[in-house]
Every structure is written in C-alpha cells, then in structure tokens.
Structure 1
Amino acid sequence: MLMTLVEAKRAEGSINVDFKFEKLTDMISPKKVMDDIRQNRKELQYTYSEYAKLEDGDPKKLDTADKLNLMFEEASVNYNNVMAMLPLAIEDIKTRLLLGDGQTKKDEAPLSLGVLSMDEHGELKILEAPKENKKELMVLDDNANAGLIQAIEKDYMDLNEDGNEYVKSLVARTFCPLASTMESVVDIEKEVSNYNSYLEFYKRSKDDFIKTVKPLVEKIMGVWAFFERIRETARA
C-alpha cells in the first residue's frame, strides 16, 4: 500500500508522501471480512430456525443439520479474527442501545417501543413495535436462538483448546447477536459494560499494531527506496 502511494505521488509530481497510517489500521479490520461475518450469521440464524422447526427423525432435519455444519465451518475461519469481530460487535451494541429498555422512567415520558431484529444483510436494526400493549410485545422474546448460541460457543471451544471466555463470548455475540427472533428488551448496563470493554481492547490493539508495524514498515521502505535509487542511477 505504501509503495503504491509513493508511486502515485511520484506520478503526480509530488515530493512529500502522506502514508496515512489510518488506512493501514483499516487493513486489520477488513470490510470484506465483516461483511462475510454478517452474511454468515444471517444464514446461520435462518437455517437454525428452520432446523428447530423440524421433528427428530425427519430426513429434512438431517439435511438441514448438514447445512448448519458447513456454515459452522465457514464461521470458524473467523473465530480468532478478533480485530474483525470487535468493530462489528461494537456496531451491534450501538444499535441495541438505541432501542433502550422500553421502560417508563420516573418523571419522564415513556420510551417509544420497538423491537430489535436482523435485516437481510445480517445487520441489527430496530423495527417499530406492534401497536399491541407491552405485555403482548414481550411474546416476541421467544429465546429461539438459545440453542444456536450454545452450539457456537461449543464449536469455538472444541476448535480452540486454549480458548478463553472473553473470546468465546465475543464469538457468540458476533455470530448470533440475537437470543430471540426479535427482542424488545435490552440490558443497558450489560451493553454499556461490553461496549467500554470492546472499545478499549480494540483501540489498544490498534495502537499496539502501529507500534509493532511502524519500524518494520520503515525498514521495508528503506530497502525499497535504496534499490529504487540504484535503478534510477542505472537509468541515468
């Protein structure tokens, strides 16, 4: 990337080059990986819901289980890609916090009711709640994905003998962000705690990445520049 920047600036006749290290940090959380995870979790949630509807012994249930196993294999590629999961988990939390807890606070107007769902791109979104009363709204919290969450956690631990609870929780929250088909209640305290934890870890990791890669990049660019000068001298 840096060599391309040098060539581009040279073609423009510019002497100074802005290396834009923020672009380098984006490379450790590639957008495509995040998009792949969103697509994977959308398919996982849908396929698991179809699997749960089928009776044991139904041949179709076995076929659906095979599909789920393939999806778990695809997901497992990114189980340890913490730097791709963290920004996605942070985005999910921001959406959850927008929903609020749906409760009426003292001396305040009631919060507008809504439900948390997943769209066709695997992103969390808030839908307008049905017009029914709040008791009927609670039926939406069906806990339908509890089994899927447990399966993801088990899959992660089976594949990582030295796995830890922090990453296991992150994997489960990233690949199955909803415990129910739709959720109407959010644990604000828990979400704020997770947000602060994820954000701190993400920022610290990016800073550590820069500290580690900067001297390495300088050496690589120094060697490259040395041979560039030799090449230019030979041309002259």
Structure 2
Amino acid sequence: MNTILLVDDHAVLRAGLRLLLDTQPDLHVIGEAEDTRTAIIQASTLQPNLILLDLSLMNSSGLIAIPALRSAAPQAYIVVLTMHDDEGYVRQALAAGAHGYVLKRAADAELIAAIRAVLRGELYLHPALTRQLLEDLLPHTPSVSPWEGLSDREREVLLLVARGYTGAEIATQLSLSPKTVETYRTRGMEKLGLRSRAALVQFALDHHLLTPT
C-alpha cells in the first residue's frame, strides 16, 4: 500500500482528493495539512511514500516547502498539484526536488496515472507543459535563406541573369554550354519561387545581392 500526505489549504479539495485516492486499492491517504509548517511535521511523523502538494498554501509557498519536505521524508516522492500552468513554476518545482507536476484542471484519471508513474520512479509532467519544456530544450535551427539553399553554380548564373547578361554571354563567361546555363537558371528560379527576370532582379535588390561591378 502506498501512503499519501495531502498538502492543500482548501479543505473541500482535500476531502475530494482523499475520497478519490482512497478508492484506489494501492493508494491510501494517511495525513493532511493546510500549511507548510504542518506539512513538514506530518511528513516527518508519518513518513509517507508520496506527498501531493499545492503551490499556493496558507501564508506560504509550496515551492519553498519542497526542500524541507524532502529533508523531513527523504524517501517520499513529491507531486505538485496546482492551478499554475506557467513554465516558470514547473522549472522551479523540478529544481527544488519535485517528481511530478499536475494541473488541478486535469482529469481524475490523469492524477492517478501521474501518482503511479512517480511511485514507479518516473518523472511526470502535464502533457501540455512537457511540450513547452521540450520546445525550449530542443535546439532551434536557424532559418536558412532560400538563396543559401542554391548551389554555387545556380547563384553564379542567377546573379549574371539579374545583371542583364544573356544566356550565351553567361555560357562564355562561365565556360558552360548554353543548355547547362539554362538548366541552372531554371532550377535556381524554381527554388526561389520566381517566374521572371524582373522578379529575380527585385529579389536580388531586396537581399542586397547586386553590387557594382
């Protein structure tokens, strides 16, 4: 049987949580507290397997209480149950030593799943919050200019086209066949999404690609 200490300053919510948790065959609420001082005493005396903790307590913050609760009941897992869906709170709670973070608006089934996951030694975060954290942790790929996506030859050909050179002139200048020049021109224009020389010239001007020769 896994024992649980409820820490929340709303008596009605504690009663509802006790009713929910005690219907589970493997979970049992052994204590309640409405403030951090009582919670620390209860944790030290009862040594629960898990502490379900609100962040907004009477005259105090649950965030501040987490290290003290960890010290009072070293074997206890701590699951934050809160209305705060701010990523900053999640980071602070995890840094302080919490093992799970669940929103009060979550369904009963999610809370039970979160508690069981944490009791198995897993970290549990509300799905929406997990996505936020992952987006911040994953490296952001810098945007690549369409121009940078062209090959060197395609850039050479398009710059000459933008400067007004004919296909034959470009072929002579780059030692390529006119057909090859046309292939590079067509392929480069397609990559840039351009359909005319005028559009190419405007693109070159907008991206500061045309310099005096």
Q: How would you bin the TM-score normalised by the shorter chain? A: under 0.3
**Structure with the largest fraction of strand:** 2
Q: Highest CA radius of gyration, 1 or 2?
A: 2
**Structure with the largest fraction of helix:** 1
TM-score (norm 1): 0.18
TM-score (norm 2): 0.20
Higher relative contact order (CA 8 A, sep 6+): 1
